[in-house]
Structure 1
Amino acid sequence: MTNPDSDPDFDPAPVSSVSPALLPENGVGLWQIFMIFLRLGLTSFGGPVAHIGYFREEFVARRKWLSDAAYADLVALCQFAPGPASSQVGMGIGMALGGVRGSLVAWLGFTMPSAIVLAVLGMAFVGFDLASVDGVLRGLKLVAVGVVAHALFGMARSLCPDIARAVLAIVAAAIMIASNTVLAQFAVILGGMLAGFVMLRAKVDDHPMAPMAPRSATGAIAALCCFFALLVILPLAAHFDQSGLFAVIDGFYRSGALVFGGGHVVLPLLENAVVDPGWVDTQTFLAGYGATQAVPGPIFTFAAYLGAALHNGSATDGGIVISAVTSMITLVAIFLPAWLLVVGLLPFWDRVRHIGAMRAGLLGINAAVVGLLAAVLYDPIWTGAIHDMFDIGCVAIAFVVLQWRIMPVWALVGIGAGAGYVVALLA
């Protein structure tokens, strides 16, 4: 008999038929959550929006542990909050399935593969030559387009079933394409909520929404207090600390806490945090950024490379150990504010989204999220990956494979990388 905790592909009963409070014990074990996210961390190329598509395919479409509406609500919350949106969505899924411990193991599994690779590169001061893997990257980008397109198709069919919500999604996409800024993103989500209040009250059903999982309001408040307290305490500690350790922690924590939009938006903040003080030179910084583009998982794992590069040294003087420890510290520091916000906001978000008026607003937000995904699918994903009819054909094949469930996403990613490499050799 298959052990659900040891087999990451084991599919228990859908979430709709299991009491949410019992999911960690009777449906989804922490080890299973970790193994699923570890596999995603090894195969999720394509950036934050592609990650959201991978998550939806795994937990909504394939396993049916979350509904499209609950998943879109979680994505909307993470779009509102500062930090790495895709990583926060992963933490939120882990928290929905396994509580606070579930959020931690989800983050660990999703982040660990790319963090280890980048930390090793940082220790060795090795720049990553993208030209040597152009074909592989091309194949991975095309798979990412197919993943995002498949996620968009599924979410649009579920979250925009009528003309009003379809129009909201189209307007949201048009606004984001015309002005792709963080401010426009906030305006689109807020506008979707207001439009839902006005236009979609009649669409709200009377059935109560089950919470994702029981959570403590006391713990949530403590997490939010810790989030804001560290923004004050760390600079003060850095001022009095002669070793410079707290200055490093403060720089990475502040970068993770104050960035809106996630992903590549964090790069200017990290450059200010490590290049301006002279901790890392520009060449080393750019080499690490190039390496980050070639590994799966969240872009914020760039912090692991920078942490290792801060104290690079030889094995004889303990430099490797120091680099490894510093890498771990900077990685935790940049992700800590995101985790605190998920733990602090998700319980209140789970309660607010049950109110009738808010549920109408969430219908509008969900439609706006579809528009946001459509805009990002067009630019930069489509415009950055599609150059000829061959690329379009590859994306169509990836879409059909996912739509008909011919193979799992991780296998498609591997085939895409291999095919890209072969095509590049033949060319």
Structure 2
Amino acid sequence: MSSTSQAFSAFKERASRSKTGFALYDTFLRTWDLGITAFGGPPTHFKILNDRFVEKYKWLTPSTSLELFALSQSLPGPASTKFLFCITLLRHGLFSATLAFVFWSLPGALGMYGFSLGVSKISETLPGPVYALLSGLNGATVGIVALAAVELARKAVTDRLTRLCVFLSAAAGLLYNALWYFPVLMVGCGFATLAWDMGFAGTVWRVLRGKKRQEPVEELGVAPTSVDGKVGTTASGSDARTGSSDTEQEVVEQADTTHLYGWKTGLAIVVAFFITFAAVLIARGLWDARPLAFSVFANFYLAGTIIFGGGPVVIPLLREYIVAPGWVSSRDFLLGLAVIQSFPGPNFNFAVYLGSLAALSARPTISSFPSFAGALVGFFGIFTPGIVLSIGFMAVWKTLRKKRWVASILRGINAGAVGLIFTAVYRLFQIGLVDAEHQQGSSLGNDPWWVVVTATSFVGGAWFKVPPPLAIALGGVMGLIWYGIVHGA
């Protein structure tokens, strides 16, 4: 046996002797590769993580997975990162969740830092083949995200009401765009399912029509069933409507929550975070002579706290917070946007790239700081709010998930969040084409070839099970083929 194999066997034996050691070993075994294989952005990440931890390793049940999906979408910060963090936190505790986060985010962060160093040295206009490559990568990514949205919708839709929530949130997201708007849509869907499950909507409808209540009633695909004389869950898996007397019943499927903090500790963590958030905002507003490093951190910290919905939503906000102050040029911003879509791991690693460029742009001024420090400022500023709030709210969720009304709200939030992924597909499609004339990005529909690239990645994944990394690479090759045909003729 080789020395490497012996060392690995010894490590495995030592790890198995303690609960903490086994938890870390198990986390390493299940998550070490995610940061280098999870391509496609948040929607695809949710599918990858669900397939791995629900279908393959059985770390959690499908219903718990949907709850964590809704929770990660309804909290600020990077959605897919919080989803993985919460899964590991629930399974093995905080140390393991932190380890999984490092494996998940570090490879892409290092890659984006290296890319920032290269971008800082290139000319304003890039060679034509580079633009074609970036456009091909973007087109393939849109196809992968669209496929993930369709597959997530199949899991989120449990009845006609959730189907309606998916459609309406997607349509509403297309028509208007604002920071406060997306969380309002998700919360609205949550209260819609709560109202229906508790019978409020049906009661109002019957009052308006002047009819008395009839039992039993089956509406919108949700039928009450009797279990020992109590309202239960339909055979399809969707929660039945309950009266107010049933709102304190426990959810049927329970999860092992022994690794989570108590609700009081969780609440204290949430309160402490918002105290630090207020302190950063006050210093940002009143400290006129603040260093550039603090200004960059404060803007990323603010962005990580007020962004709901993950990567696709962070892009326009970071353009306002980083490009508008003059720290990063529009061209460099768009180049990073094109590349981050084709990088593995979380899209929030975009902040590493922007933080590094902000530091490089400050040279040789008195407020300059090293580019690596800028990358760290961006990394911790953008990720810290979502991770800390996940720790606190998971402890509160541990208690609240036993309430049936919480399950009803999460069911609607889940459907609303999936609908907004379709919105993200449209917005990414609208800025995917990059060339010398459209360095701010334009619609992939401007040339049928890029639509074909998008369709190829969608069909390849849906019908031929092409892995996302291969689909993205194929998109880049198709972009170069387009350039060769158009400019080589």
- TM-score bracket for the superposition, by shorter chain length: 0.7 to 0.9
State the Cα deviation string for residues 332-384 of structure 1 (Å, max 9, x = none): 12211121111111232343233112222322333323322333334444884
Q: Is 1:343–2:391 an aligned residue pair?
A: yes
Give the CA deviation at 1:215. Answer: 0.5
Shift of 1:306: 3.8
Residue 200 of structure 1 contacts residue 363 of structure 1 at CA under 8 Å; is this kept in 2?
no
Is 1:105 matched with 2:99? Answer: yes
Tell whether 2:71 aligns with 1:77.
yes
Inter-partner Cα distance in structure 2 for 1:382 and 1:23:
47
Correspondence for 2:336 among 291, 313, 319: 291
1:316 — aligned with what? none
Q: Which residue in the other structure is 1:420 paired with?
A: 479
CA distance in 2, matches of 1:230, 1:108: 23
Q: Quote the residue 2:273 is aligned against.
A: 227
Cα distance per residue 1:77-111 (max 9 Å; x no partner): 23322223333334334434443233323332333
Q: How does 1:380-419 map to 2 (within 5 A)?
A: 380-381=428-429, 384-386=443-445, 394-403=453-462, 406-419=465-478
Aligned to 1:18: none
1:89 maps to 2:83: yes
- Give me the whole-angstrom Cα distance separating, in 2, the residues matched to 1:304 and 1:321: 14
- Give CA deviations for 1:172-230 in whole Å, capped at 9, x if unaligned: 32322333444442332222222212323544276233247730125533432342232
Measured against aligned partners, the alpha-carbon deviations of 1:127-146 in whole angstroms (never above 9, x if no partner) come to: 58485433333333343333
1:227-306 equivalences under 5 Å are: 227-234=273-280, 239=287, 245-263=293-311, 266=314, 270=318, 280=327, 282-283=328-329, 286-295=331-340, 296=343, 297-306=345-354
2:259 pairs with 1:214: yes
Secondary structure in 1 matching 2:170: helix
> What do residues 139-164 of structure 1 show as CA deviations (whole Å, max 9, x unaligned)?
33343333333323333333324333
Q: Which residue of 2 aligns with 1:17?
A: none
- Which of 116, 134, 139 aligns to 1:137? It is 134
Residue 151 of structure 2 is aligned to residue 154 of structure 1: yes
Amino-acid identity (%): 24
Give the corresponding residue for 2:364.
none
What does residue range 321-400 of structure 1 map to in structure 2 within 5 Å?
322-381=370-429, 384-386=443-445, 394-400=453-459
Q: Which has the higher helix share?
A: 1
Alpha-carbon distance in structure 1 between the residues aligned to 2:278 and 2:385: 13
One-letter amino acid matched to 2:259: P
Distance 2:258 2:129 in 1: 46
Per mean C-alpha deviation after superposition, the further-off stretch among 146-155 and 231-240 is: 231-240
Contact 1:150/1:403 (<8 A) preserved: yes
Is the 1:118–1:304 Cα contact (8 Å) retained in structure 2?
yes
- Candidates 159, 163, 166, aligned match of 2:160: 163
* Cα 1:181/1:385, change in 2 over 3 Å: same
User: Structure 1 residues 385-394 or 291-300, which shifts more?
Assistant: 385-394
Q: Tell me whether 302-311 or 328-337 shows the greater mean CA deviation.
A: 302-311
Question: How many residues matched?
Answer: 401
- 1:34 Cα offset (Å): 3.9
Preserved CA contact (<8 Å) 1:176 1:375: yes
- Asked if 2 retains the 8 angstrom alpha-carbon contact of 1:24 and 1:30, the reply is no
Residues 1:321 and 1:131: Cα distance change in structure 2 (over 3 Å): same
Please say if 1:189 is aligned against 2:182: no
1:256-314 deviations in Å (ceiling 9; x for gaps): 22344544654676567666777x3x53x64144224213244433332343345449x
The range that moved more, 297-306 or 231-240, is 231-240
Please say if 1:198 is aligned against 2:198. Answer: no
* Aligned partner letter, 1:207: V
Q: Does the CA-based 8 Å contact 1:306-1:327 persist in structure 2? A: yes
1:137, 1:204 → 2: CA distance? 45
CA contact (8 A) 1:87 1:107 kept: yes
CA distance in 2, matches of 1:332, 1:395: 33
> How far is the alpha carbon of 1:44 from its aligned partner?
2.0
Structure 2 Cα separation of the partners of residues 171 and 252 of structure 1:
31
Matched, 1:126 2:126: no
Q: Does 1:114 align with 2:108?
A: yes
Contact 1:200 1:361 in 2 (8 A): no
Unpaired segments ≥5 residues, structure 2: 9-18, 199-223, 225-237, 241-250, 362-367, 432-442
Query: In 2, distance between residues paired with 1:246 and 1:180?
Result: 29
Instruction: Tell me, yes or no, if the aligned pair for 1:143 and 1:412 is still in contact at 8 Å.
Output: yes
1:382 to 1:286, Cα distance in 2 relative to 1, 3 A: closer
Contact 1:99-1:215 at 8 Å conserved across structures: yes
CA shift, 1:66, in A, is: 4.6
- Give me the whole-angstrom Cα distance separating, in 2, the residues matched to 1:52 and 1:132: 32
TM-score normalised over the length of structure 2: 0.67
Give CA-to-partner distance per residue, 1:369-422, whole Å, 9 cap, x none: 332233333444488445666555555554454345644333333333334333
Distance 1:225 1:338 in 2: 14
Q: CA RMSD in A?
A: 4.2
Give the residue type in structure 1 aligned to 2:416: A
What is the aligned partner in structure 2 of residue 11 from structure 1?
A: none
Distance, in Å, in 1 between the alignment partners of 2:77 and 2:288 is 28
Structure 1: how far apart are the matches of 2:453 and 2:322?
40
Cα distance change of structure 1 residues 286 and 168 upon mapping to structure 2, 3 Å threshold = same
Q: Whole-Å Cα distance in 1 between the matches of residues 33 and 158 of structure 2?
A: 31
